[in-house]
Structure 1
Amino acid sequence: MSEKMKNLLALSIIPQVIGIKLLALAPGFIEKYYSNGVYPLISKGSRYAFGWVPFSVGDVFYGIAGILILRFLFLNLRSVLRKPWYFFREVLIVISFAYFAFHVFWGMNYYRPPLHRSLDMDSTYTTEELVDFTKSLIARTNAIQLEITGNDTVMVEIPYSRKEIYRMSVSGYTETAKEMPGFSYAPRSVKNSLFSLPLTYMGYSGYLNPFTNEAQVNGLRVDYRYPMVSCHEEAHQIGYSAENEANFIGFLAATRNKDIYFRYSGYAYMLRYCLNEAYRRDPETFEKLKEQMHKGILKNYTDVTLFWRKYENPVEPFFKNTFNAYLKANSQAGGIKTYSYVVALLVNYHKENPL
């Protein structure tokens, strides 16, 4: 490759960034031509290509990329002082290719219109509406917990393997798509991450590989959240990049699943978000709501908290801050806090669709 071509490839990152920022100003265009146009073809093609492979192809790619990066640094680090432009040019070429591939294969979904607009819902709610919805959610979660265990003090344990959970997760999307065709999900491509232990130390339950469209789930431990987390990552696959929206769609898929453990996972998972929001607004009301919950549900929450506490480390906040910056750079102004905005979607959706 000629020096001129290398220079052009390296500097192509500049017009790319400008172009993406301009496109982000036209969410309707992105929704029509990318999210509902080109992207479904790319997504399904990737899942057909990699979904049948029993291990995470994307994680293998990441591993190889990591090795090549270390090799490059080792061989070229001395050139930083002698020929800095040549060194940084090679780095920029890689960044330019990655930036382009990221947005083509998935990242443009960050700039589509907010889901509450697509569903014609409000984005705000009152504390009274939150409390009423949370009470309904507690009643539903209590009933399912008691049906599963037969004892309101016993926590729910998921009896399925990881592969069984992945296979079963699709049926919830099938039911959801009957009302909302845009939430259909096929084919399936959800797998254990090969980096589950590092993910745990980083504090993450899963992620979507934007280059292979594989849903990666932290496979270190199956707990009550596992079905819901799987549905969450699958929501990313169908083009909903915002974390609050993926949680909302994952909740619909989990709670419309015919399997009772999936329904419990969805209700219990989102109940915790509602309780956190109730506590933020009114701690006294939170305590009253908590008293209505079965002890078995609280034991599920405690069980998960104790698990993650074992892996707390000084580096975890760094990864959380990095992800926070990543979200903000991709049009999620609230950063990692957007996870809590799912409560607004839940409350307003269930005004017209009561539990």
Structure 2
Amino acid sequence: MSVFRRRKKGILSEGYLWILMAGLLYVLGLFTRDNSAFLERIYPASWNRALIRILSRITGVMPVSLGEFFVYANVAAGVVLLILLLKKIFTGGFFTLLYRIVTYAALLYFVFMLVFGLNYNRASLREDLALERVNYGTEELILMNEALIERANELRGKVSESDEGVFTLAERRNEIFALAEEGYDAFSEAFPQFGGEYGIAKGIIASEALNYTGITGIFMPFTGEANVNIKGPDLLFPATVLHEMAHQRGIAYEDEANYMAFLVSSYHGYEPIRYSGTMLALINSMNALYKEDRESYRALYETYSEGVKRDLRAYSVFYDAYEGEVNERATKVNDTYLKSNGQVSGVKSYGEMVNLLLEQFMQKGEVVFP
């Protein structure tokens, strides 16, 4: 009889539990910002990588990014819910709907922190690579740039170029996604903690629109997917793929993911991928030198091969066409996101990969990690 029927409870039926758990994770995040050792004891990085690995392999069976559609659905739902919320101010049920919205937001926050957010509080990548944090000066920066330029010039002579003389990938984007996996396979032989089978990187359908924001890739914590803009220049495309794959492996900070992209590219046997990773490192390192010593920067720039110079000019020209208010607003949003997760210097921290490069160069004696 109907009197004995029990109502099925949905995932949001006990909303206060999700709000409570989200609050507990928020407090845990605050506590572990300065106590990475405690985080490692209660939630080891290996557990987190295993979780992302499983999640990414499940979503990886789909050829398109589920995370991208997840974003679209939530943006559309947000607009609809905002309209409904305003309407219910006058028709009643405002607080009931608000409670459900807060519950859903708490659920999203809980999943984000569990899958990815807590990685912002982990120990530096330096610990995995046995690097010591040291502040090096301009002299060491110049020496490292000389080594990077020599490597870039050498690799540039081994890659293909277009009729305009600009570096061009012979492979399609999907083929680069598969090739990138080989880099992490080789790297994991030296550093097994970064090994394992993850879902393959995916292209973003709205890549052309993303060019106006300056965004070249996005890691989707809710699906474990490494998503890459497929409408940008070839120059840094392989490095960007490796960067987003670094996020899959639990590396949260942008500077460390950039460094990991260079590091993994140096283990790859394919010259175009090594060249792309080297150019990522060189651009960041030379930008740092420009701020410190412009005269030395100009002198070193003249030692670039003509091919490297053409590649950099073409890369700059491509993104010049997309600059504008949308790009500036997207940068501010990204800056706010990074700072909210403890990356205090925000977007400026993208240049901090140079510290890791310098430590590697000075402490290991090579611009390429041994």
- What TM-score do the two structures reach when normalised by structure 1? 0.92
Render the CA deviation track for 1:207-231: whole Å, top value 9, x for unaligned: 1000111000001134111111000
Equivalent position to 2:122, from 77, 92, 112: 112
One-letter amino acid matched to 1:209: M
2:272 corresponds to: 261
Q: Distance in 2 between matches of 1:117 and 1:11?
A: 33
Render the CA deviation track for 1:228-274: whole Å, top value 9, x for unaligned: 10000000100100001101111111122101100111111210111
- Aligned in 2, Cα 1:6/1:344: closer, same or farther, shift over 3 Å? closer
One-letter amino acid matched to 1:68: A
Please identify, of 257-266 and 219-228, the stretch whose mean Cα deviation from structure 2 is larger: 219-228
Q: Distance in 1 between matches of 2:180 and 2:17?
A: 45
Q: Unpaired runs of 5+ in structure 1?
A: none
Preserved contact between residue 35 and residue 109 of structure 1 (Cα < 8 Å): no
Equivalent position to 1:284, from 286, 292, 295: 295
1:97 corresponds to: 107
Counterpart of 2:133 in 1: which secondary structure?
coil
Preserved contact between residue 235 and residue 250 of structure 1 (Cα < 8 Å): yes
One-letter amino acid matched to 1:160: E
Counterpart of 2:157 in 1: which secondary structure?
helix
2:36 corresponds to: 27
- Aligned in 2, Cα 1:269/1:16: closer, same or farther, shift over 3 Å? closer
- Cα deviation for residue 132 of structure 1 reads 0.4
Q: Do structure 1's residue 57 and structure 2's residue 66 form an aligned pair?
A: yes
Render the CA deviation track for 1:125-179: whole Å, top value 9, x for unaligned: 111111101001101110111233599x933211110011000001111222222
- Aligned in 2, Cα 1:12/1:185: closer, same or farther, shift over 3 Å? closer
1:126 corresponds to: 137
Q: Distance in 1 between matches of 2:71 and 2:161?
A: 45
Q: Do structure 1's residue 75 and structure 2's residue 84 form an aligned pair?
A: yes
Q: Do structure 1's residue 213 and structure 2's residue 210 form an aligned pair?
A: no
- Cα deviation for residue 204 of structure 1 reads 0.4
- Cα RMSD (Å) of the superposition? 2.4
Preserved contact between residue 173 and residue 184 of structure 1 (Cα < 8 Å): yes
Q: Distance in 1 between matches of 2:20 and 2:57?
A: 34
1:167 corresponds to: 178
- Aligned in 2, Cα 1:32/1:256: closer, same or farther, shift over 3 Å? farther
Identity of aligned residues (%): 26
Q: Distance in 2 between matches of 1:5 and 1:48?
A: 30
Preserved contact between residue 50 and residue 189 of structure 1 (Cα < 8 Å): no
Q: Distance in 2 between matches of 1:14 and 1:33?
A: 17
Q: Distance in 1 between matches of 2:292 and 2:265?
A: 27
Q: Distance in 2 between matches of 1:183 and 1:9?
A: 31
Q: Do structure 1's residue 354 and structure 2's residue 366 form an aligned pair?
A: yes
Q: Unpaired runs of 5+ in structure 2?
A: 1-8
- Aligned in 2, Cα 1:313/1:40: closer, same or farther, shift over 3 Å? same
Q: Distance in 2 between matches of 1:40 and 1:6?
A: 28
One-letter amino acid matched to 1:108: L
One-letter amino acid matched to 2:366: P
- Aligned in 2, Cα 1:305/1:115: closer, same or farther, shift over 3 Å? same
One-letter amino acid matched to 1:64: A
- Cα deviation for residue 297 of structure 1 reads 0.9
Counterpart of 1:258 in 2: which secondary structure?
coil
One-letter amino acid matched to 1:115: L
Q: Distance in 2 between matches of 1:214 and 1:69?
A: 22
1:204-353 map, 5 Å: 204-351=215-362, 352-353=364-365
Q: Distance in 2 between matches of 1:11 and 1:175?
A: 43
Q: Distance in 1 between matches of 2:17 and 2:157?
A: 64
One-letter amino acid matched to 1:346: L
Q: Distance in 2 between matches of 1:320 and 1:62?
A: 18
- Cα deviation for residue 13 of structure 1 reads 4.6
Q: Distance in 1 between matches of 2:161 and 2:110?
A: 53
One-letter amino acid matched to 2:226: A
Counterpart of 2:244 in 1: which secondary structure?
helix
1:183 corresponds to: 194
- Aligned in 2, Cα 1:227/1:150: closer, same or farther, shift over 3 Å? closer
- What TM-score do the two structures reach when normalised by structure 2? 0.88
- Aligned in 2, Cα 1:292/1:49: closer, same or farther, shift over 3 Å? same
One-letter amino acid matched to 2:111: A
Q: Do structure 1's residue 39 and structure 2's residue 51 form an aligned pair?
A: no
Preserved contact between residue 65 and residue 203 of structure 2 (Cα < 8 Å): yes
- Aligned in 2, Cα 1:299/1:32: closer, same or farther, shift over 3 Å? farther
2:208 corresponds to: 197
One-letter amino acid matched to 2:87: R
- Cα deviation for residue 67 of structure 1 reads 2.5
